[in-house]
């Protein structure tokens, strides 16, 4: 299965709204071909991108008053851990469901799709926080990153795989073609003193999540909103790479050989070409279209087939807009949609 992307627009997950209906109205008005369910961190603690996907994890403590998720390893965690891993072995995908209290936007999208689907709908997009970023951000009670607790990190990884599978399966209940993105913001620090994990582990862990999504018949993407070693991600079977093309285009050009192989096998490049900040107020569809053309030309000069690249591209904001105002979020989506229309018209893409 391949995505006929052809510079269609979509979005990264987070939005500033408290009302999921308002967020969906905005999304569906601008992105009817590939709508995304909105993460809504301003609704409260449970919609934080790390907390949101942790409700099934053993030994997890949700300290809402303190605004902290952590793992309590002081007691005997092994009965809970054993029970959790048994659910994984049994492939009890429903056990890993994300409830409305943790993802109101996902359930609101499903209800909206049941009532009426946009006539132009091609794909439904979801997202899950990746295991590397989760493992480095969330700690135990002593504030030691859970990535370095072997047994619990294994649960985090398996939980990510199974939650991604549940999400792909759930979205397919509303539409047959789905994409689930793995959000890995911490990969922007890969290779620095802040991340002490081997390349092989990153590849193996992300491959496991991607293959889980594929098992459910979905396409898998990875989103990283900063510079990283993109060749690592291209070693996985991921279908879509979403990068910040507004601030960090040059980082991607360093990996032109790997990118050529990625595009050659049908991989899609999702260009975060529209700034997801107030910088969008200083840009227009015309200015960003010119920037996109120059970026495409840069990669073409590196040996990437230009026509194939255009066929296998998506256009997105550079990151989520959950930390912005609703007005900025609306402007960002309007520009993404307008840019996609202009680019597709210019290059004869439909």
Domain boundaries, the chain: 8-347
The two tokens of residue 190 are 């890969």
CA-closest candidate to residue 251, choices 185, 192, 188: 188
Residue-wise pLDDT for 255-280, tens only, equals: 999 999 999 999 999 999 999 999 99
- pLDDT given for residue 193 in this prediction: 61
2, pLDDT greater than 80: no
The fold for domain 8-347 equals: TIM Barrel (3.20.20)
Residue-wise pLDDT for 217-242, tens only, equals: 999 999 998 889 999 999 999 999 99
- pLDDT given for residue 89 in this prediction: 97
| Residue 289 pLDDT grade (very low, low, confident, very high; cuts 50, 70, 90) | very high
189, pLDDT greater than 80: no
What is the pLDDT averaged over residues 20-38? 98
- pLDDT given for residue 191 in this prediction: 65
Q: How many CB atoms lie within 10 A of CB 259?
A: 23
Between the alpha carbon of residue 311 and those of residues 256, 302, 303, 315, 333, the distances in Å are: 17, 17, 16, 12, 21
What is the pLDDT averaged over residues 131-135? 96
In order, the DSSP letters of 338-350 are HHHHHHHHHHT--
302, pLDDT greater than 70: yes
Residue-wise pLDDT for 41-97, tens only, equals: 999 999 999 999 999 999 999 999 999 999 999 989 999 999 999 999 999 999 999
* Neighbouring residues of 4: CB distance < 8 A, sequence distance ≥ 6: 122, 311
Q: At what angle do helices 104-115 and 20-30 cross, to 10 degrees?
A: 60
195, pLDDT greater than 90: no
- pLDDT given for residue 25 in this prediction: 97
1, pLDDT greater than 70: no
- pLDDT given for residue 21 in this prediction: 97
What DSSP character marks residue 75? S
171, pLDDT greater than 90: yes
b/e for 203-215, b at 16 or more Cβ within 10 A?
bebbebbbebbbe
Q: How many CB atoms lie within 10 A of CB 78?
A: 11
């Amino acid at each position: 299965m391949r995505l006929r992307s052809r510079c269609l627009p979509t979005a990264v997950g987070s939005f500033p709204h408290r009302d999921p209906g308002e967020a969906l109205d905005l999304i569906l008005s601008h992105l009817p071909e590939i709508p995304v369910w909105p993460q809504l961190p301003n609704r409260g603690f449970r919609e934080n991108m790390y907390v949101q996907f942790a409700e099934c994890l053993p030994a997890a403590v949700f300290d809402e008053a303190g605004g902290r998720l952590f793992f309590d390893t002081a007691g005997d965690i092994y009965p809970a851990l054993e029970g959790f891993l048994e659910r994984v072995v049994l492939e009890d995908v429903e056990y890993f469901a994300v409830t409305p209290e943790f993802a109101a936007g996902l359930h609101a999208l499903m209800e909206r799709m049941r009532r009426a689907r946009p006539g132009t709908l091609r794909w439904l997009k979801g997202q899950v926080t990746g295991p590397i970023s989760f493992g480095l951000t969330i700690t135990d009670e002593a504030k030691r990153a859970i990535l370095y607790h072997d047994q619990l990190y294994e649960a985090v990884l398996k939980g990510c795989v199974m939650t991604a599978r549940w999400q792909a399966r759930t979205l397919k209940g509303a539409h047959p073609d789905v994409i689930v993105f793995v959000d890995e913001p911490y990969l922007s620090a890969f290779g620095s003193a802040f991340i002490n994990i081997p390349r092989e582990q990153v590849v193996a862990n992300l491959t496991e999540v991607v293959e889980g999504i594929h098992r459910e018949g979905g396409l898998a993407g990875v989103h990283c909103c900063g510079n990283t070693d993109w060749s690592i991600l291209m070693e996985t079977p991921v279908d879509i790479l979403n990068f910040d093309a507004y601030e960090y285009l040059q980082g991607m050009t360093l990996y032109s050989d790997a990118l050529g192989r990625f595009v050659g096998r049908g991989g899609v490049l999702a260009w975060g070409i529209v700034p997801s900040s107030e910088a969008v107020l200083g840009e227009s569809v015309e200015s960003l279209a010119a920037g996109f053309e120059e970026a495409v030309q840069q990669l073409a000069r590196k040996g990437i087939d230009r026509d194939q690249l255009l066929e296998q591209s998506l256009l997105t904001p550079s990151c989520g807009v959950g930390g912005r105002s609703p007005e900025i979020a609306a402007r960002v989506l309007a520009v993404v949609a307008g840019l996609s229309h202009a680019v597709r018209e210019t290059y004869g893409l439909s």
